[in-house]
Structures are given as structure tokens and as C-alpha cells.
Amino acid sequence: MVRSRGQAARAPDGRIRQWAMAIDLRYCDGCQSVGKPPQCTTACIEGHFAPEPMEWIQVFESELPGGGTQFIPTPCQQCQNPPCVNVCPVGATFSTPEGTVLIDQDRCIGCRICMAACPYDRRFFNWGTAPTPPETRWAHYSPEHQVPTKRGTVMKCDFCPDMIRSDTLPYCVQGCPNHAIYYGDLEEDIAGNGKQVVVLSRLLAENQAYRLKEDFGTKPRVYYIAGHGEAVGRDVFTGGRLPTEWPWVERVKGARTWKR
């Protein structure tokens, strides 16, 4: 079942692309080096008009076994065996031929069963009139770009299929100052981070990439290369990051902010 605006993207040989992401934690320092909140999160918020407090790609600070911390940017994991899709009673959340998991807010009934099923806590609920800029009310809604927001529905990272179909890298990839995030196609076996293009399978194999909670059998499409920002000079004992900010000066009438 596909309810997206465009046709599935295809590789030059005609095969349907299979989108994936690789995050090289050796280059992620939580944007400490630039003295800003995580810029992948900021770029995503600004590009998608994500309402506060939604962080579709959230940068967690996790303790390392030997002491110190690492930063882990965490978008929707785009599972190929997605618990959220399996439990949705109305088919509002669905997988596309490209492997992305989307939500159709026009069908969502706000039961939040999908949120309970997600082992990565990567879904967010609209509790009221979302705090977004007034101009978003005039946007043409699509499951691929969830604007305008709809009260009483679930939202999440959509993996930017509309952007990549037009040969534009996702907002988080563009926003990362250290080029730690790669986005690519498993079928054509390429990925780019805005600075270089790599053979995706080689990048993953040579660096022993892993996926979060692989033992759950969800088969995520987001891969990680172990690290703690050492490639950009980060000291693991320099903890903390600046809090995420939402830039909207003017908001839609009746908007309010809530806590997760």
C-alpha cells in the first residue's frame, strides 16, 4: 500500500531504490566543536517545521563502558520488519517499496498503539494545535512531508523521500557540520554525506557497522559506525550539549507547546 505523492525512485538499471543511512560516530561530537545545539536536529526541525518538542532526529548522549560519553543521532530507524506497521489497526502507518516507513495523518486515529510498539521511541503525538509558523497552514499535505500538522495524530522522521527523489540530500545530512551522516541506496550501493560519495557496503563492512537493538528483529535501515567524535578531536570526558531550539518567532493561532 503506497500513499505517497510521487512514484518510487529507481536506480539506473530500473530497480527500485532502497534507502538507508549510515552515521559515523567517529565524526559526531554533538556539535560541541561549533558551539551550537546538534545541527542535524536543527536542520530537520527547520526543514520539516517539526513542532516543539518533536526531535525527529534526536542526539542522545550515552555513557561509554570505560567512562566518558558519546553522542548518538537517532532518527526513525526505518525498520524492514516494523512493529509500528504490524500493530496499526487502520493502516495509517505503512512501508513503501523504497523501504521507508511513513504515516498518513489523514487515516491516523490517534490510538498511539504504534508509539507503544516502537522500541526506539521515535514517534511523537500531536496533543493540540502544534506550534508551527502560520504559513505552514497553506502547505499541501503529504505523508512524505507532514505539513500542516494534524491534531490528534502521530508524526515522525519520514527519511525525506521527496527530497532524495529530486536529488537533494535530507536536511539532517546537509546540516551536519562534520559530515557524519551518509544517506544512500542499498541497490546501487552508494551513499553520500555532502562531501564525498562512498561505496555503502564497503563503508559498513570495513568499519564493522552495527544497528540499534538488532536482536529485536526489526531490521533497521540506519547503520552506525562506533566512535565518540575522536575524528574531530573530541575528548570523551567533555560531556553535555546545548539544548535543542525551535526558531519560530510567530506561531499559528491557538498554538501551544507540550511536553512529551
What CATH number has the domain bearing residue 27? 3.30.70.20
Q: Look at residue 260 and tell me whether its pLDDT is greater than 90.
A: no
The answer to whether residue 240 is domain-embedded is no
Helix, strand, coil content of the chain in percent (nearest 5) = 20, 20, 60
- The strand pair at 190-192 and 197-199 is best described as antiparallel
The answer to whether residue 14 is domain-embedded is no
The answer to whether residue 1 is domain-embedded is no
CB contact at 8 A, 150 and 105: yes
Q: Taking the CB of residue 18, how many other CB atoms lie within 10 A of it?
A: 19
State the total domains in the chain.
Answer: 1
The answer to whether residue 189 is domain-embedded is yes
Classify 155 as helix, strand or coil.
Answer: strand
The answer to whether residue 31 is domain-embedded is yes
C-alpha distances in Å from residue 240, one per residue of 2, 38, 70, 90, 195: 41, 11, 10, 41, 27
Q: Is the pTM of this model over 0.85?
A: yes
The answer to whether residue 66 is domain-embedded is yes
pLDDT bracket for residue 3 (50, 70, 90): very low
The answer to whether residue 221 is domain-embedded is yes
The answer to whether residue 154 is domain-embedded is yes
Segment 57-73, tens digit of pLDDT: 999 999 999 999 999 99
Distance CA 116, CA 88 (A): 11
**Residue 193 structural domain:** 19-232
